[in-house]
Amino acid sequence: MALWTVHGDGRRVTDGAAVAPDERLSWPLTIGFGVQHSAAMFGATILVPVATGFPPTTALLFSGLGTLLFLLITRNRVPAYVGSSFAFIAPLVAARENGIAAQLGGVLAAGMLLVVVGIAVKALGARLLESLMPPAVAGAVVTLVGLNNLAKAATVAPQRQPGLAMVTLAVILVCGLLGRGLLARVCVLVGVLAGWTLAAMAGEIDPVRVQAMSEAALVGLPQLVSPQIQPAVVLTVLPVVVVLVAENVGHVKATASVIGRNLDGSVGDVLIANGLSTALAGFGGGPGTTTRAENIGVMTVTKVYSTATYAVAAVAAIVLSFSPKIDALLATMPSGVLEGATLLLYGLIALVGARIWIEGKVDLLNPVNMLAAAAALVAGVGNLTVRLGGLDFGGIAWGTLFIVTAHPLLRAMYAARRR
């Protein structure tokens, strides 16, 4: 049985109708649309490893493998590309001094926890998420993840290459606010390319790295690294699961509205698939993954929802991962460009938490919500470190543990006092 049926004659979209997820056009056209998805996902998928110290080509490899795994588990019902998640930047940067093996241990643990969440949702229903982690708690966790490195990034960026950081940030803002369609979706990539080009014109790219790029082999194996489990690092990275759940559920709802199908029954499969993709990346050397919103933009513009195009994009990423020259090229990105982009991304993650509060109609005048969230945000902004049993727990780790455990306890105490 064929994975995809041919839409019409395969040469065009018939009568303006959309190409369904289980359909495809001719393979030349499908490859062409797949290349567009490759371009859309590329910026985010390589920016995360560059920011966190991971090999970019390894991230490409596992994003490609993860996407194929995602399509298999969701049975081609949910068109999506699984690329690097911006949410991992803050905790992985915080854990960078522990080494890439320890960082990968955190990614692996986060992926496995997401699989568990997905299995529970598939068995018990999506309402389980809200009962275990209400909006008041989820919003605080997501916000502190974003704020954890925002203060540090805001002080570092102006010190190194302030001009490049500001130009990169300005271009991202202009494209994101004034751009339409796909341009707005890939505003981060456009901003990075603009800052990078300006750096090249101004001679601010490290000549040693340029020389290394010219000498790098065109074809070679991606760098694979085995994970190492360190409890403190794992607890620093695990809160990202809250962000991943929010991203994936939001992606399912957005995709459903675009393709005109009810995908609520696929939420559990999507979480399991993304969890396995993230665990696979953590097992071999890549950052955590998530469904990329940029690719929804491509579908909206083209009305081609075929999962075959995503399979093509996945294969393209795997092919690109076998080029050390790409790794060397990305290493020439000036620090100012990277800092300008990540400065905005940290803030956006923090605002996702605020959006969870707003959409969940969280009453921040309620002393339970207010005090618990305040303590968590102090942990995130100040990155206050607590030492327990010889292990150092950063702000993300203990801040998350505090609000997850303290919020239900404080709520019960407050309710008992008011009786």
Q: Give the angle subtended at the CA of 144 by the CAs of 141 and 146, to the nearest 5°.
A: 110
Task: Tell which residue, 258, 269, 247, has the closest CA to residue 71.
Answer: 269
Write out pLDDT tens, residues 232-241. Answer: 899 889 888 8
- Is residue 3 assigned to a domain? no
- Is residue 87 assigned to a domain? yes
- Is residue 391 assigned to a domain? no
Cβ within 8 Å of residue 111, ≥6 positions away: 275, 276, 277, 278, 279, 280, 281, 282, 288
Please tell me the predicted confidence (pLDDT) of residue 1.
43
- Is residue 186 assigned to a domain? yes
- Is residue 275 assigned to a domain? yes
Into how many domains does the chain fold?
A: 1
The larger pLDDT score, comparing residue 64 to residue 94, is at 64
Please tell me the predicted confidence (pLDDT) of residue 70.
96
Q: What distance in Å separates the CA atoms of residue 381 and residue 279, rounded to the nearest whole number?
A: 28
> Would you place residue 318 in the very low, low, confident or very high pLDDT band (cuts 50, 70, 90)?
very high
DSSP state for residue 4 in the 8-state scheme: S
Write out pLDDT tens, residues 94-133. Answer: 888 889 999 999 999 999 999 999 999 988 876 776 777 7
Is there a contact between 272 and 73 (Cβ–Cβ < 8 Å)? yes
Overall average pLDDT of the 210-224 stretch: 88
- Is residue 394 assigned to a domain? no
Please tell me the predicted confidence (pLDDT) of residue 279.
97
- Is residue 383 assigned to a domain? no
- Is residue 64 assigned to a domain? yes
Q: How far is CA 251 from CA 79, 229, 244, in A?
A: 10, 30, 10
Least confident of 38-47, 197-206, 279-288, 359-368: 38-47
Q: What distance in Å separates the CA atoms of residue 239 and residue 88, rounded to the nearest whole number?
A: 10
Q: Is the pLDDT of residue 14 over 60?
A: no
| Structural domain harbouring 258 | 17-361
Write out pLDDT tens, residues 167-187. Answer: 888 998 898 788 776 577 667
Question: What is the pTM assigned to this prediction?
Answer: 0.76
Cβ within 8 Å of residue 36, ≥6 positions away: 298, 302, 309
Overall average pLDDT of the 387-392 stretch: 61
